[in-house]
Amino acid sequence: MPEISGYAFPNDITVWWSLMIVMYPYITGFVAGAFIVTSLYHLFGRQEFRPIARLAMATSFAFLLVAALPLQLHLGHPERGPSVMVTPNFTSAMAGFGILYSGYLVVLMLEIWFVWRQEIIARARRSRGVARGFYKLLALYTYDTSPEAIEIDHRAITVLAGIGLPMACMLHGYVGFIFGAIKANPWWSTPLMPVIFLMSAAVSGIALLIVLYQVVAKLTRHPSDQPCVSALARWLWFFLIITLTLELLEIIVMAYEKSEPWHIVSELLTTRLEFSYLSMQMIVGGLIPLILLAIVVMLNRYLHDRVRNTLSTAAALLCLLQVFSMRWNIVIGGQLLSKSLRGLRSPYEPEIFGREGVLAALALLIVPFVILWVFDRLLGIRVAPNGGERPPRPEPEGAASAAAE
């Protein structure tokens, strides 16, 4: 039984939205953030992101494939989950999930197809048997690699990135809207919520890619492209500043206005969420990476490669923690306070096993990397320093996948 301090409505003492609902925005945050990075190259033509453009796109896709799972694991009736697409009630932000998710999935799959099309055709030509049939199907039985076709591909990629970017942002922004539009819960109800979610999604996506890039560079024994790393660090710093500003702004305005909920929200933040909000979200996850990234960005030209990599990766890991604790503080924190505004319940401890437990959450985080590995085996993700868009060369199978891992 949870302990209540003060008074909570009798039905108010259960935390309905569990760890899985913390994982869902965390994962869609990666989807949106990684897509922002890949669009910086494919849509806005920022050449410094060329080395990781494909890695970012594949990462967005890998996380997108598992994005629906935390929701299904949470539902009281997962078998009725598809009802959201059959009879959506469009006054509900949650009903948008079906359209946004499937729409963005289609756009991303198309864009991946166009980006990897030449590789698919090359593999179709190289392979035999079942694999050959698979690649031919994937190529949709067209094998045009002429310069005109490639030009059309590039234009299609740009258009799709242009459509996909707002869709990815909406796929994550609507989650913020789900919380922000609940007038019943004063910790959630703010118009800033979708923006905060989206900015912190960018933070998590860029941070993930920084870490992933370093890992991939180590695995393939290729040095990571330093202009790319410093560009990533610069954008991470930028989005981190915006995110922290917005998160602080929300608190500051609430505290200044001293409207009815502030006394209970401040008690929530200083008692139940003291560790996860003050220590983790603001200081360890906020202030420290802010300083580390400031060093990386402002002292960029004085830094040795290894220092830059280390500082960026450390800052990125802390940012990943920050974004997770931010999701936790909003989702779980909002349910620790009763709608009576007179009581708080004891902190929520997720179960270890069980479908909404810690192990399930960890599995959800690991599966996308498995998907990435499969993606690399099937299509190859090039992160070579001098560009990811080289036309396919007739290399033997083994060396190609080893180089691309």
Partner 1 sequence: MEATKMQPGAETAGAGAATGDRSAGGGSRREFLGDAIRLSGGALVFLAGSSASGSTEPAPKTKAEAYNWEEHSYAYLIDTQKCIGCGSCVRACRAENAVPDGFYRTWVERYAVGMEGSHVDSPEGGMDGFPPLAVGFTVTKSFFVPKMCNHCKATPCIQVCPVGASYRTKDGVVMVDGERCIGCAYCVQACPYGSRFLNPSTHTAEKCTWCYHRITKGLRPACVEVCPTGTRQFGDMKREDDPVRQAIEHERVEILQAHLLTEPRCYYLHLDKEVR
Partner 2 sequence: MEHARHVFRALLVLVAGGAVVFLGRGFLVPRSYGLYGHYRYDNVAEQMNAHRPAHAGPQSCTGCHAAQSAKWSSGSHKTVSCEICHGPLAVHVTDGKVSAKMPVDRSFTLCARCHRKILGRPEKFPQVVLEQHVQGPVEGRVCLDCHESHFPKL
Can you give the binding site for partner 2, defined by CB under 8 A?
82, 85-87, 89, 91, 102, 106, 110, 113, 117, 139-142, 144, 146, 148-149, 152, 156
Question: Taking CB under 8 A as the rule, does residue 330 contact partner 1?
Answer: no
Question: Taking CB under 8 A as the rule, does residue 94 contact partner 1?
Answer: yes
Question: Taking CB under 8 A as the rule, does residue 396 contact partner 1?
Answer: no
Residue 156 contact, options partner 1, partner 2, none, Cβ 5-8 Å cut-off depending on partner type: partner 2
The full DSSP string for 306-357 is: HHHHHHHHHHHHHHHHHHHHHHHHHHHHHHHB-TTSEEEEPPP---SSSTTS
Question: Taking CB under 8 A as the rule, does residue 222 contact partner 1?
Answer: no
**d(C-alpha 154, C-alpha 152), whole Å:** 5
Among the residues of 127-146, which ranges form H helices? 129-138
Task: Give which of 193, 187, 333 is closest to 261, Cα–Cα.
Answer: 187
Instruction: Note whether 34 and 209 are within 8 A (CB).
Output: yes
Q: Please, which residue, 156 or 288, has the CB nearer to partner 2?
A: 156
Q: Please, which residue, 48 or 356, has the CB nearer to partner 1?
A: 356
Task: Give which of 72, 69, 73, 70 is closest to 83, Cα–Cα.
Answer: 72
Residue 16 contact, options partner 2, partner 1, none, Cβ 5-8 Å cut-off depending on partner type: partner 1
| x/- map, 177-206, partner 1, by CB under 8 A | -x---xxxx---------------------
- Least distance in Å: CB of 379 to partner 1? 18
Q: Please, which residue, 81 or 357, has the CB nearer to partner 1?
A: 81
**d(C-alpha 391, C-alpha 13), whole Å:** 59
Instruction: Note whether 35 and 165 are within 8 A (CB).
Output: yes
What single-letter amino acid sits at 373? W
Number of H-type helices and E-type strands within the chain: 14, 2
- Least distance in Å: CB of 392 to partner 1? 13
Query: Which residue from 91, 129, 256, 302 is in contact with partner 1, where contact means CB under 8 A?
Result: 91
**d(C-alpha 336, C-alpha 329), whole Å:** 10
Question: Taking CB under 8 A as the rule, does residue 271 contact partner 1?
Answer: no
Residue 396 contact, options partner 2, partner 1, none, Cβ 5-8 Å cut-off depending on partner type: none
Query: Which residue from 5, 83, 102, 245 is in contact with partner 1, where contact means CB under 8 A?
Result: 83
Question: Taking CB under 8 A as the rule, does residue 14 contact partner 1?
Answer: yes
Helix, coil or strand: residue 244: helix
Query: Which residue from 107, 193, 338, 404 is in contact with partner 1, where contact means CB under 8 A?
Result: 338
- Least distance in Å: CB of 117 to partner 1? 14
* Tokens, residue 188: 């959630």
**d(C-alpha 231, C-alpha 1), whole Å:** 50
**d(C-alpha 131, C-alpha 404), whole Å:** 19
Among positions 340-359, residues that touch partner 1 (CB under 8 A) are: 340-342
| Residues contacting residue 183 through CB under 8 Å, at least 6 positions apart | 189
Task: Give which of 332, 328, 185 is closest to 261, Cα–Cα.
Answer: 185
For partner 1, the binding residues (CB under 8 A) are 7, 9-12, 14, 16-17, 71, 74-78, 80-81, 83-84, 86-89, 91-95, 97, 124-125, 132, 143-144, 178, 182-185, 335, 338-342
